[in-house]
Amino acid sequence: MIRPVLWKNNAVVLIDQNALPQIERHVICTDYRQVIACIKDLTVRGAPAIGVAAALGAALGAGSLRETSAETFRMRFKKICNEIAAARPTARNLFWALERMEKCLDAALAEGRKNPAKLLIDEAKRLCAEDIEINKTMGKNGCALLADGDHVLTHCNAGALATAGFGTALGVVRAARDEGKKLHVYVDETRPVLQGARLTAWEMKKEKIPATLICDNMAGFLMQQGKINKVIVGADRIAQNGDTANKIGTYSLAVLAAAHGVPFYVAAPVSTFDFSLKSGADIPIEERSSEEVASFRGKRAAPQGMPVYNPAFDVTPATLITAIITEYGVIAKPTRKNLAGLQKEKRRR
């Protein structure tokens, strides 16, 4: 299994996703600030993977804190979590994971537990392992939506590299393949940093799943020709009404899918849902460096000084989403009412 983020020898080990597909290497983080840098520069990316990396980074920071009073430890750990939380604004999993780590610490200190740093490391490792199992369950839940012979379009990378392992959207594809279904995946290149061309294509080659790479602006033409009959993507944050933020370009695909009668599916764990937000209009959208658009890997593609707008995500209205696949099942036609049960389950957890 591809493991993009894990805890090993008291360090956070990450696959360097900026180096793929040319070079397969790992980055070893021994300080939580290194994890923050890796989240910011996309060494690790994908909402679930960011969440796992954040938890492991927080645990790494906790391990560096000297023995002190419980309240001082809590304050210093909170400061570390706040620093990690500032790394990227859109992915809900980042904040969810840090909230879970803080709750773990609060419970441990309330019970008078010794060695809170070790407890936090154990919790982060547990969160990492749970993510893989959640993805596998999601894959099984969504498997029935894909039929033998389907041609499936995906955008960005929602595979093993975007999680602790297995994947969300591509986890559904993997599960269907494992059931014996023959699928063909169309991979959007996903500009400006080409997560589809570099990462999803790399995963499909690794998994030996038939796939074809296309430019982002080819999707409508392929739908018109009847060459795409399903779209499945991941998500970075989902509002209480089902509006979904995902990599820029996802909204355009949803509009195209609706125009051509192609089902549009979103696969995301419950940790991606932000029930404090009424709609997608409330989702914070990260704007990244102009250099990601004006150049690629150090080579300039636009005139010097050309103004650039580079939002990393867009929002797909729930009305364009056929169903959302979670570890608790498939929610068809997501609405605030249809998602209410999921909200109760998340609160219970």
Residues 142 and 118 in one domain: no
Residues 181 and 260 in one domain: yes
Q: What pLDDT, on the 0 to 100 scale, is given for residue 349?
A: 65
Residues 142 and 131 in one domain: no
Whether 312 contacts 287, CB under 8 Å: yes
Q: Which of 223, 232, 229, 260 is nearest to 323 (CA)?
A: 232
Q: What pLDDT, on the 0 to 100 scale, is given for residue 163?
A: 98
Rounded percentage of the chain residues whose pLDDT exceeds 90? 94
Please say if the pLDDT value at position 237 is more than 80: yes
Which one is catalytic: 131, 150, 236, 314?
Answer: 236
Please say if the pLDDT value at position 343 is more than 90: no
Confidence of residue 68 (pLDDT cuts 50, 70, 90): confident
Whether 311 contacts 284, CB under 8 Å: no
Residues 178 and 307 in one domain: yes
Per the structure, how many domains does the chain have?
Answer: 2
The chain-wide mean pLDDT, for the chain, equals 96
Domain boundary among 79, 113, 135: 135
Q: What pLDDT, on the 0 to 100 scale, is given for residue 62?
A: 96
Report whether the peptide linkage leading into residue 21 is cis, meaning its omega lies within 30 degrees of zero: yes
Domain boundary among 135, 156, 181: 135
Residues 324-338: pLDDT tens digits?
A: 999 999 999 999 999
User: Which bin fits 163, alpha (ψ -120 to 50), beta or left (φ > 0)?
Assistant: beta
Domain limits at 54? 5-135
What is the arithmetic mean of pLDDT over 309-317?
Answer: 98
Q: How many CB atoms lie within 10 A of CB 304?
A: 6
Domain boundary among 101, 135, 169: 135
Please give the radius of gyration of the chain, using alpha carbons only, rounded to the nearest integer. Answer: 20
- Residues pairing with 330 in the sheet: 325
104: which residues sit within 8 A by CB, 6+ positions away? 119, 120, 123
What distance lies between CA 7 and its chain's CA centroid?
19
Residues 269 and 127 in one domain: no
Residues 120 and 188 in one domain: no
* Global pTM value: 0.96
Residues 128 and 142 in one domain: no
Residues 118 and 189 in one domain: no
Confidence of residue 59 (pLDDT cuts 50, 70, 90): very high
Residues 195 and 243 in one domain: yes
What is the arithmetic mean of pLDDT over 291-310?
Answer: 95
* Residue 347 vs residue 40, higher pLDDT: 40
Q: Which of 48, 119, 44 is nearest to 77 (CA)?
A: 119
Q: What pLDDT, on the 0 to 100 scale, is given for residue 186?
A: 98
Rounded percentage of the chain residues whose pLDDT exceeds 70? 99
Residues 115 and 170 in one domain: no
Residues 123-179: pLDDT tens digits?
A: 999 999 999 999 999 999 999 999 999 999 999 999 999 999 999 999 999 999 999
CATH number of the domain enclosing 315: 3.40.50.10470
Residues 16-27: pLDDT tens digits?
A: 999 999 999 999
Residues 206 and 72 in one domain: no
CATH number of the domain enclosing 105: 1.20.120.420
Residues 323 and 217 in one domain: yes
Give CA–CA dist 214/217, Å, rounded: 8
Q: Would you call 150 a catalytic residue per the annotation?
A: no
Whether 11 contacts 30, CB under 8 Å: yes
Confidence of residue 344 (pLDDT cuts 50, 70, 90): confident
